[in-house]
Structure formats: structure tokens, C-alpha cells
């Protein structure tokens, strides 16, 4: 996605350890028009699938997810990183956070994730694929189906993309694929 790549080159900051900081337009302050264009692109890529619900994980996945859900006119479910006292019955799994370097439990209500749901997972980044695999695990616990995964930015030099694209019947789309992050250097994969 040309607009997104131009913005990453203009405002993205490459940090040590293969981390890309996009706080000025995605992760802290959001550019709502860019987010809308991102959602339109996701809709183009996934609209042919019989999706009934968007699923994401708090917090940074929520913004793109809600834009996609709004355009497709379907609900947006976000997996929580803490168990609210009000949630009685839930599916739980563990995931490792790349940016926070720790493992934590994530939960989703059994009432809101059900066997008949056909889901599209949306998130901001794909790195090692831990968040996406953990969400896939929750979906499987519910007996529901995960039909696709859409990421704004994929760091293609990490292993997540390869792992997720190997899942059977899974459409994985990343709108900007970065092959190299260095000192003041951001290099994208060529588009197929």
C-alpha cells in the first residue's frame, strides 16, 4: 500500500532490536484518514470471505479493527489482556509480547466468541506471530473459524509471516512488508 509505505518512510523511526516506532500515526497518535484508507484496503482483500466478526487484541489492534468492522458492518471483538471481574466464563491462553518482553494471559468471553463465528483477525504489527497464534488458539477453543489475518505492518525479517502463511486455509495479508530495519534505514519487500 503506497500511501502507508510513504508514511512509514516519512514518520517511522527505526529503533534498536528491530523495532519500528510509528507513534505519530498508529500507536500513540492516530491518523484517522490513513487508518480509514488502511481499512478500505483490508476490505478489498477480505470482502470475498464469509466473515461475520472481526477479532483483534487490545490495545493497538482496536483502531484498525473497528474501521474494518464499520465498513463491513459486522461486530468487532477485542481479546483482553486482563480478566475483568465482570467476566464469568472465558477462554484463556498465554502469549509472549515482543515489545514488552513478557508473557501474559489473554482472555475472551465465551458468550462473545462462539462456534458459529467466522473471524478475521486484524492487528497493527506482525513480528514473530505470537499474538496471532494466541488469538487462533482462543478461536479454536471456541470451535469457531479464523478465515484470515490482516496486518498493517509486517516485519518480514522475523518468523511470524512464514508461520502464519503455513496455516491451512488461512489468508494472511500485510499492507507493508519490511525486509530490513537499520540505523535510519527502512527497506520494504518488493510487491509481488
Query: What residues line the site for ligand 5GP (CB under 6 A)?
Result: 19-20, 22, 27, 60, 98-99, 123-131, 155, 160
Nearest-approach distance from CB 97 to ligand 5GP, in angstroms? 6
Judge whether 153 and 176 are in contact, CB under 8 Å.
yes
Ranges assigned E (strand) in the chain: 13-15, 19-21, 53-57, 76-79, 90-97, 102-109, 118-126, 145-155, 171-182, 185-188
Of the candidates 95, 32, 27, which has an alpha carbon nearest to the alpha carbon of residue 66? 32
Nearest-approach distance from CB 89 to ligand 5GP, in angstroms? 26
Q: Which is nearer to ligand 5GP, 18 or 141 (CB)?
A: 18
Burial class (CB in 10 A: 0-12, 13-18, 19+), 40: middle
Nearest-approach distance from CB 69 to ligand 5GP, in angstroms? 17
Dist. CA 133–CA 130, nearest whole Å: 5
Burial class (CB in 10 A: 0-12, 13-18, 19+), 121: buried
Of the candidates 113, 97, 96, 130, which has an alpha carbon nearest to the alpha carbon of residue 54? 113
Nearest-approach distance from CB 151 to ligand 5GP, in angstroms? 8
Q: Which is nearer to ligand 5GP, 73 or 101 (CB)?
A: 101
Nearest-approach distance from CB 134 to ligand 5GP, in angstroms? 8
Q: Which is nearer to ligand 5GP, 17 or 50 (CB)?
A: 17
Nearest-approach distance from CB 101 to ligand 5GP, in angstroms? 11
Q: Which is nearer to ligand 5GP, 1 or 57 (CB)?
A: 57
Q: Which is nearer to ligand 5GP, 20 or 139 (CB)?
A: 20
Q: Which is nearer to ligand 5GP, 110 or 167 (CB)?
A: 167
Amino acid at each position: 500500500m503506497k500511501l502507508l509505505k510513504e508514511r512509514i518512510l516519512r514518520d517511522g523511526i527505526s529503533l534498536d532490536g528491530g523495532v519500528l516506532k510509528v507513534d505519530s500515526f498508529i500507536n500513540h497518535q492516530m491518523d484517522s484518514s490513513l487508518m480509514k484508507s488502511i481499512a478500505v484496503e483490508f476490505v478489498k482483500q477480505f470482502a470475498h470471505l464469509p466473515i461475520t466478526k472481526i477479532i483483534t487484541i487490545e490495545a493497538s489492534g482496536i483502531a484498525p479493527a473497528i474501521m474494518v468492522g464499520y465498513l463491513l458492518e459486522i461486530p468487532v471483538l477485542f481479546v483482553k489482556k486482563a480478566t475483568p471481574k465482570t467476566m464469568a466464563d472465558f477462554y484463556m491462553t498465554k502469549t509472549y509480547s515482543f515489545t514488552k518482553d513478557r508473557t501474559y494471559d489473554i482472555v475472551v468471553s465465551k458468550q462473545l466468541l462462539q462456534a458459529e463465528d467466522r473471524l478475521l483477525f486484524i492487528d497493527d504489527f506482525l513480528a514473530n506471530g505470537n499474538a496471532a497464534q494466541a488469538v487462533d488458539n482462543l478461536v479454536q477453543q471456541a470451535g469457531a473459524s479464523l478465515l484470515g489475518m490482516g496486518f498493517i505492518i509486517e516485519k518480514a525479517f522475523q518468523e511470524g509471516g512464514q508461520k502464519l502463511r503455513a496455516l491451512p486455509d488461512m489468508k494472511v495479508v500485510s499492507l507493508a512488508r519490511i525486509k530490513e530495519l537499520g540505523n535510519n534505514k527502512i527497506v520494504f519487500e518488493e510487491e509481488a
